[in-house]
Amino acid sequence: MLFLQIILVVAFFGLASCGRLDTNYIPSNPDHHVASKNPLNDVPILRLDNNNDGETYNYALETGDGISAQEQGDATGDGTKAQGGFSYTAPDGQVIRVQYVAGPDGFQAQGDHLPVAPEIPEEIRKAVEQNLADEARGVVDDGQYRPEASPSEKYGAAAVVKNQYVPAQTGYKGY
């Protein structure tokens, strides 16, 4: 009997807490609050072309506030490929234009406002070339410690110099 009373009390408080209405309810009818209507939300679509036959597609869009976009692509061969672009006017007045291609190599965008990566420093470029040349010769060091591998197994026979003594330099002060 006590168990039934506990269940009824929990159910009562559960229903009571769910029944409270939110005081910030905004009705779905946008004409209800005429004062909150924003004319910038009513942008006409000037042009909309859309063609899709299941394998190839293209579309073009222009709006009354200067936004335009177009894209064409296909889903034949080795995955979906697309190319297109869009433009709009930023709040600061700058016209933003982006052209792009997308496919097996990923999404690649171009635009005057997009940041460009700096050139690779010469030292890093040389190191990458050396690593690729070493890999082509079979010399691969992935940075893992392998106590069972001898230096010639780990770095290749050409990389191991055996029994070479380098005498200490006289007058060397260490700095």
Q: Are residues 57 and 96 in the same domain?
A: yes
Q: Are residues 99 and 65 in the same domain?
A: yes
Residue 94 lies in a domain: yes
Q: Are residues 102 and 130 in the same domain?
A: no
Per-chain mean pLDDT for the chain: 77
- Tell me which residues of the chain have a pLDDT lower than 70: 1-5, 8-40, 146-175
Residue 117 lies in a domain: no
Residue 72 lies in a domain: yes
Q: Are residues 92 and 127 in the same domain?
A: no
Domain count, the chain: 2
* Structural contact between residues 61 and 44, judged by C-beta atoms closer than 8 angstroms: no
Structural domain that includes position 128:
122-156
Q: Are residues 128 and 105 in the same domain?
A: no
Residue 73 lies in a domain: yes
pLDDT digits (tens, 9 = 90+) for 121-160: 999 999 999 989 988 888 877 777 766 666 666 566 555 5
What span, in angstroms and rounded, lies between the C-alpha atoms of 84 and 156? 49
Task: Give the pLDDT score at 25.
Answer: 46
Closest CA to 56 of 81, 90, 38: 81
pLDDT digits (tens, 9 = 90+) for 106-117: 899 999 888 888
